[in-house]
Amino acid sequence: MTLDVVLGLQWGDEGKGKIVDVLAAQYPVVARFQGGPNAGHSIQFGSTSFVLHSVPSGVFRKDAINIIGNGVVLDPTIFRQECEAIEALGVPVRERVRIAKRAHLILPTHKLLDAADEAALGKSKIGSTLKGIGPAYSDKTGRNGLRVGDLLEDFRLKYDTLKQKHLARLAQYQFTYPFDLAAAEARWMEDVEYLKSFPLIDVEYETNALLDEGKAILAEGAQGSMLDVDFGSYPFVTSSSTACAGACTGLGVAPRRIGKVYGVFKAYCTRVGSGPFPTELNDATGEELRQRGHEFGATTGRPRRTGWLDIPALKFAVMISGVTDLIMMKADVLDGFDTVKVACGYRVDGKRCDRVPYDVFADIEPVYKEFKGWKGDLGKCRREADLPEEFKAYIAYIEQEVGVPVRILSLGPDREQTLIRQ
């Protein structure tokens, strides 16, 4: 069996939660391989929605095994809150979730460092979710980090050593922040005990054994390709590998075991936080997209920046991850627009260019192609034949430019509002 991967192809918030929940019906195993509680994956049940941060989006499917991989960074306090909220819905979360011993822990002082780093950057801040992601990954690659497996032996000593290093760093900042470290720490220690009640696993042996037994695994990406630490608009990125390769290193699975790579993108673009966004609309149309698409952060509540679809960025994301199937989300948000625009290229410092530029401060101007908008309610379409011709032309153009078929259309938050194409 193969490891199939779901990835966000833009700047996050593409709708990965909904799609993983839908696809999870076909996968006995769902696994997160990178990121942490900076993610906010929303799943809709009738009129209520649930936001997952660290737990894989397969948790609501009966019999699904959900794995938190070694590439993830885990905050025990957020994890516990999330699990208790899931349990309150009657879902036996402890039977469904397993955690890699090699996953790294986010300490309360990581959050303080995140806030101090951002404050020191002033106007050039990244716009981090302030969940401690960057500092936790820095400790991981800097070989200082604490891992879930450390909870099993001499934990307090290891914790205090790392905390002291953090406090020494924090003392160098002119930084005050209303944060009760002692209280956060006391709670964190209790939440660590809660975390220890879950199966703590050697994830690389487990994932490979599951594949050998004939169980397909769906790897659920967090964030998006344009926030990848290597290929995103550095330094305005997250601190993990959000592209397909991250699924191998984040779960201990070899590249040749990868099967399908599902690339999820919205029919337009959004970005939350700082950094380049060539097709951004700072006008009434941008506001309309934000309101109609409910484009407010699921993790931080911040209003998301909005703009038209960006083809060079989409092609770039498809290239670095070898996407085999495209999944288009939220085209229903564009219902009733007279014209829909797509950036088919850029003008960078005045010169025509089809590549995503290295320089994040370059002057990028999109070159647009215009499409006639469609009338009617895409949210009600259940078959290909129901789709308006203008919308089909929009999809056909994207497929032709990107060279990958759009296999799934999500036309609303509900599981039923999903059209699988032949």
End-to-end CA distance of the chain: 22
Site string for Mg ion, 275-314 (x = CB under 5 A): -----------------------x----------------
User: 41, 104, 110, 166: which is the annotated catalytic residue?
Assistant: 41
Applying CB under 6 A, the span of 36-44, 189-197, 328-336, 354-362 interacting with ligand IMO comes to 36-44
Whether residue 385 contacts residue 370, with contact meaning beta carbons closer than 8 Å, is answered with no
By residue count, the chain amounts to: 422
Q: What is the C-alpha separation between 105 and 200, in angstroms, rounded? A: 13
| Structure token pair of residue 120 | 């020191």
Applying CB under 6 A, the span of 161-169, 219-227, 354-362, 368-376 interacting with ligand IMO comes to 219-227
Among 34, 38, 57, 109, binds ligand IMO (CB under 6 A): 38
Distances (CA, A) of 118 to 121, 244, 339: 5, 28, 39
| 3-class DSSP assignment, residue 153 | coil
| Structure token pair of residue 111 | 């959050």
Distances (CA, A) of 382 to 68, 376, 379: 34, 13, 8
Residue 20 contact among Mg ion, ligand IMO, none, beta carbon within 5 to 8 Å by kind: none
Site string for Mg ion, 36-55 (x = CB under 5 A): ----x---------------
β-bridge partners, 328:
265, 409
For ligand IMO (CB under 6 A), the number of binding residues is 22
One-letter amino acid of 359? D
Look up 294 and say whether it is catalytic.
no
Among 85, 101, 127, 401, binds ligand IMO (CB under 6 A): 127
Give yes or no for residue 269 binding ligand IMO (CB under 6 A). Answer: no
Q: What is the DSSP letter of 383?
A: S
Residue 411 contact among Mg ion, ligand IMO, none, beta carbon within 5 to 8 Å by kind: none
What residue has token string 């966004």? 277
- CB nearer to Mg ion: pick between 201 and 327: 327
Among 7, 31, 83, 133, binds ligand IMO (CB under 6 A): 133
Give yes or no for residue 10 binding ligand IMO (CB under 6 A). Answer: no
One-letter amino acid of 407? R
Residue nearest to ligand IMO (CB): 273
Give yes or no for residue 276 binding ligand IMO (CB under 6 A). Answer: no
Nearest to 390 by CA among 377, 372, 405, 378: 372
Whether residue 114 contacts residue 135, with contact meaning beta carbons closer than 8 Å, is answered with yes
| Structure token pair of residue 29 | 């195993």
Q: What is the C-alpha separation between 188 and 78, in angstroms, rounded? A: 9
Give yes or no for residue 117 binding ligand IMO (CB under 6 A). Answer: no
Give yes or no for residue 99 binding ligand IMO (CB under 6 A). Answer: no
- CB nearer to Mg ion: pick between 40 and 252: 40
Query: Which residues carry out catalysis?
Result: 13, 41
Residues of this chain that interact with ligand IMO (CB under 6 A) are: 8, 11-13, 38-41, 126-129, 131, 133-134, 222-224, 227, 238, 272-273
